[in-house]
Amino acid sequence: MILLFDVGNTNVFIGVSDGFKIIDTYRLNTEVTKTADEYYIQMKNLIDFQAVKHIAISSVVPRLTEKLKEIAKKFVGIEPLIVGPGVKTGLNIKTDHPREVGADLICDAVGLDDDMDPALVVDLGTAIKYIYVKHKTILGVIITPGVNVSIKALVGQTALLPDIDIEVPKKVLGTNTIHCMQSGVTYGVAAQVDGLIERIKAEVNEDFKVILTGGLSSLIAPLCSHPLVVDQDIILKGLLKIYNKNEQIRK
């Protein structure tokens, strides 16, 4: 069994794989103050660590990466694969500074099916990432504030606006404060997705597939007017592909 960790600023997305496909997934809150032992106790209620043979990690939170490495060594007795410099991905990155491209963006791009080319991956995470991929090459990226970040900024910078649950109101135009805010962060994000798709199409001058991923993808997808596919596991699929590629090289 292969254990896959995608560590983001809000969630740790965990995948269990048989080496070919993702069997189960789990999400834990990202809490950098937790010790490796505390994370292990929390995870062992979900995962049979005795069956784990390999671990792969994609992370944008270095402090948590170290704790997962400790879990891998202490409780499984293995050295995990960590996506970063020196790891083969099969992906080309045509940006000004390729080493700055995060492991999450790389895994999103690698996770695309071969028939999804060219493609735009829209990852609704702590930050919303738009990753344009063609012929296994990242050609450009857009990064905007995510839904939770926008809500925290709005609530934190205003005296009277309350914290809210992320739900889709029945109407775009709200008639009370909570519905007004919910409309802004759901219909607003959907409008952003649609608008940026149009601008990217005008810039690249070609049509492409759109894949929506991330914890809120199922909530936002029905609000978008452009055809798109929801794949919440694409980042774990990419991480699994990267693990398998490097395992073949080691062999």
Q: Which domain holds residue 72?
A: 2-82
Q: Are residues 106 and 208 in the same domain?
A: yes
Is 48 assigned a catalytic role? no
pTM (2 decimals)?
Answer: 0.91
Asked, for residue 87, whether it belongs to a domain, the answer is: no
- Catalytic residue selected from 6, 104, 123, 231: 104
Q: Are residues 68 and 128 in the same domain?
A: no
Q: Are residues 41 and 116 in the same domain?
A: no
What's the structural domain count of the chain?
A: 2
Q: Are residues 97 and 127 in the same domain?
A: yes
Q: Summarize pLDDT for 69-123 with one digit per residue, the tens.
A: 999 999 999 999 999 888 999 999 988 888 888 899 999 999 999 889 899 999 9
The residue out of 38, 63, 82 marking a domain boundary is: 82
Q: Are residues 13 and 64 in the same domain?
A: yes
CATH of the domain at 38: 3.30.420.40
Q: Report, as ranges of residue numbers, the positions in the chain whose pLDDT lies below 50.
A: none
DSSP the chain: -EEEEEE-SSEEEEEEE-SSSEEEEEEEE--TTS-HHHHHHHHHTT--GGG--EEEEEES-HHHHHHHHHHIIIII--PPEE-STT---S-EE-SSSGGGS-HHHHHHHHTS-TT--SEEEEEESSEEEEEEEETTEEEEEEEEE-HHHHHHHHHHT-SSPPP------SSSS-SSHHHHHHHHHHHHHHHHHHHHHHHHHHHHTS--EEEEESTTHHHHGGG-SS--EE-TTHHHHHHHHHHHHHHHHH-
